[in-house]
A = this chain, B = another copy of it.
Amino acid sequence: MGKLYLQIPEWSWNLPEENQPTYVHHWVQPLQNSKSTPDLILYGAPISRSSISVSGASLYPTEFRRSWKSFATYNLDENVDLVQYTVADAGDVTMHTTDILLSHQRIQESTAYLVENYPNATTCMIGGDHSTTACAVRGIKEAYSNETIGILQLDTHLDVRDPKELGPANGTPIRQLIDGNIVKGEHVINIGLHGYFNAKPLIDYANKHKIQMVTLKQARNQGLIRTIQKSLNQLSSKVDRIYVTVDMDVLDISVAPGVPASTPGGMTTIELFECLLEIGRHPVVNHIDFVCLDPSKDSIVAETVKTGVYAWLQFVTGRILQT
């Protein structure tokens, strides 16, 4: 049924521009101010104490919003003015300091609440570590228990480590969902795997559960955009709604200082931006998240946070182009 555990973020919408907004921080409005259903609802899941290694990804929602003022609302490449699209910020899910399960439960219930009460809005969760994805997907399933959910995952890792061993940690979300019968393995497509970053037993699990693995090399060979299109088309023929999860560690380590798990040989930012534009364009994508970006490790100029905001705006631009 869902319940809302959302704090109003420390953010100043109280200085609206006189006319049409031209920067992102004036364009996005708080959900509680919304008169009608927004096109997209944003909410933060600021938890990273569920991360296997030390992570400050809990700080990302705040830094994500703080970076908005560096971005204009106009995309010149696509000749699109974002202000025609309404984005509402629901704030951050209230986390408990030490009770990880309770925090996870609240992410699930808040997601359920939002998708139930705003059925026509796209939802976008800003993590937090990757454990939050399992919570969000369970929340959607709670609200739409009759629907089948598919997952498109951009990630260097499979994230199918065993929750029996680790609890609901950030290496486990896809396995939580499969073992918990929320999502079928065959409805999961992972794009971005490469190198030597997934141990053999995890690949065995993925194969056993028919997770589709498209390595970055394979995706580049067949065209990254075409791979995205094909994957979304395939999923949309089999499921009712598609959840996209973007683990920022899919990015190459040289462009993502703020993602401790990023590796050499990963995606370029241009590739990520093109993928998100394409994903935004696809009508069956209902939900998206961006996770595992730790601003406390970012470069002084907040290079990775800026990349994260850019990627999100590409998704929004895609949404507009779709219509």
- Using a CB–CB cutoff of 8 Å, the interface residues on chain A facing chain B are 10, 12, 14-15, 20, 22-24, 48-52, 54-56, 58-59, 71-77, 81-82, 96-100, 165-169, 193-201, 203, 213, 215, 217-218, 252-255, 257, 260, 263-265, 269-270, 273, 296-297, 299-301, 303, 306-307, 310, 313
Contact = CB atoms under 8 A, between A and B. Distances in A.
A48 B52 contact: no
Copies in the complex: 6
10 tightest A-B contacts by CB? A98-B167, A49-B49, A54-B56, A22-B199, A97-B166, A72-B199, A264-B307, A254-B255, A71-B196, A74-B200
Contacts of A81: 200
6 contacts: A14-B14, A22-B199, A72-B199, A76-B213, A254-B303, A264-B307
A318 to B, nearest CB: 14
A264 B255 contact: yes
Given A97-B52, A167-B96, A72 B22 contact: no
A25 to B, nearest CB: 10
A199 to B, nearest CB: 4
Given A14-B14, A77-B215, A296-B54, A24 B196 contact: yes
Nearest to A204: B74
B303 A193 contact: no
A76 B203 contact: yes
B24 A200 contact: no
A178 to B, nearest CB: 19
A213 to B, nearest CB: 7
A73 B200 contact: yes
